[in-house]
Amino acid sequence: MSDQLNWMNHHFILLKYKTVEELVSQGGYELAPKYGPLCKPGMSVEDFMTALVQKNAIRDAIGVLAYAIHRRAGVWWGVCCFRKLYAELVEAEKKQAKQAKIDAQKKEEEAAAAAEAAKEKAKEEEAQEAEAAAQEKKFREMQDAVAKKIEETKSKFNPEQKKMYDEARARLDAECVKLTGLPVMAFINDMVKKEAESEAAKQSLKQKPEKKDAPPPAPPEEKADTSDDPMPPEMLAQLKQNAFEIICNWVVDPSAENSIMAEQISNQIEGEPESMLARTAFWSYGNLTVAQKDGSNVPVPPGLAANGLRTALLMAMLTEGGLYSLPERAAQYLSLGIEIACGRNNWTAPEPEKNAPSGTAETKEEVYRKWK
């Protein structure tokens, strides 16, 4: 905001209170002790706001303007800030939707890559199984060939040689059984089989990552208790929209009827920013008993509408989501307030959706007459 102080060149024409002394004595404004040294005798509201902005006390400057500005202009300021907030939230939703689409596409690509990797892994495992089967077949063929060769050789033995072979084979098998529990050929076959199984296991370990213990399952997510909030979100959104339209109508025509409607809609959406701005419009009418048919008039206490406006603007700044931080929104909203206070932002048509700024063609006197 420090680079935009040219907006505050003593051209405020829509102020209800011109000096800080009037703001405190008549407008109900409470000057914070820490800002006492900034406030000189007879200091104008413009100069005080300039000093606050130079100290980067943007929200305090907003509070000063909320108390100093004409009540009707203040509600219009709130309308402009809320419109800016709504546009920001819509833009944020678009960006979130775009990012969600990108994330979903990335997730699909990762899933496709994982499926392709699993397919390749299955092919590798199938090839390994085929190779193992081929090796086993080759080993069996070698065994059969050796056994056949032995039988062919034994068939050529004479009875005495055959007897000597059988005795030697029996003694060898007996010794092998003592040492290993198996005859010679059975022991050889067993060792070859174990070696083959060991090699297959090594190959499998190379292909499979080390299996880690799975994390414990997450506890089931507790559902939020909505028993104290019976109003459906769709209904609340519609009521907030209705409230905003009523507020816009009040700015165009701050009549008793529109003031009553503002109070009624604010009671239906307590706690929402739109509720506070609608109540500010009601307070800005100036009569707390405007809805009474007896013609009574209970004046609104000084500072009540101003405090409502300041609260509504703060609630808008604190709205979750969007694109900007609280300090960024505060700077934007103060800029809008200054434009309105200077008479450079006004409505030109009775329909709320046509409440566009009128530009700067009108003189300050012409603009001021609209607010008297």
Q: State how far the Cα of 231 lies from the Cα of 305, in Å rounded to an integer.
A: 28
Instruction: Please indicate, yes or no, if residue 256 is contained in any of the structural domains.
Output: yes
Instruction: Please indicate, yes or no, if residue 89 is contained in any of the structural domains.
Output: no
Instruction: Please indicate, yes or no, if residue 127 is contained in any of the structural domains.
Output: no
In this prediction, residue 131 has a pLDDT band, given cuts at 50, 70 and 90, of confident
Instruction: Name the domain boundary from 269, 300, 331.
Output: 300
Position with higher pLDDT, 215 vs 326 = 326
Instruction: Please indicate, yes or no, if residue 187 is contained in any of the structural domains.
Output: yes
Are residues 195 and 250 located together in one domain of the fold?
no
Can you spell out the DSSP letters for 230-251?
A: -S-HHHHHHHHHHHHHHHHHHH
Q: Is residue 2 scored above 70 in pLDDT? A: no
Instruction: Please indicate, yes or no, if residue 48 is contained in any of the structural domains.
Output: no
- Locate 280 and state its tokens: 């500010």
Instruction: Please indicate, yes or no, if residue 86 is contained in any of the structural domains.
Output: no
Single out the residue of 253, 242, 302 nearest to residue 277, CA to CA.
242
Are residues 191 and 248 located together in one domain of the fold?
no
- Locate 178 and state its tokens: 């003592």
Per-residue exposure over 299-337, b if at least 16 CB sit within 10 Å of its own CB, e if not: ebeebbbbbbbbbbbbbbbebeebeeeeeebbbbbbebb
Position 213 scores a pLDDT of 59
Are residues 248 and 290 located together in one domain of the fold?
yes
pTM of the model: 0.65
Give the domain range for residue 261. Answer: 234-300
Instruction: Name the domain boundary from 300, 323, 339.
Output: 300
- Locate 27 and state its tokens: 């407008």
Can you spell out the DSSP letters for 145-191?
A: HHHHHHHHHHHT--HHHHHHHHHHHHHHHHHHHHHHSS-HHHHHHHH
Q: Is residue 354 scored above 50 in pLDDT? A: no
Are residues 239 and 288 located together in one domain of the fold?
yes
- 19 forms beta bridges with 44
The domain tally of the chain equals: 2
Position 169 scores a pLDDT of 74
Are residues 199 and 245 located together in one domain of the fold?
no
pLDDT in tens, 312-344: 999 999 999 999 999 999 999 999 999 999 988
How many residues would you count in the chain? 372
Q: Is residue 353 scored above 70 in pLDDT? A: no
Over residues 267-277, mean pLDDT? 96
pLDDT in tens, 186-210: 777 777 677 666 666 666 655 555 5
Q: Is residue 211 scored above 60 in pLDDT? A: no
Instruction: Name the domain boundary from 300, 331, 347.
Output: 300
| Residues 6 or more apart in contact with residue 2 via CB below 8 angstroms | 53, 54, 56
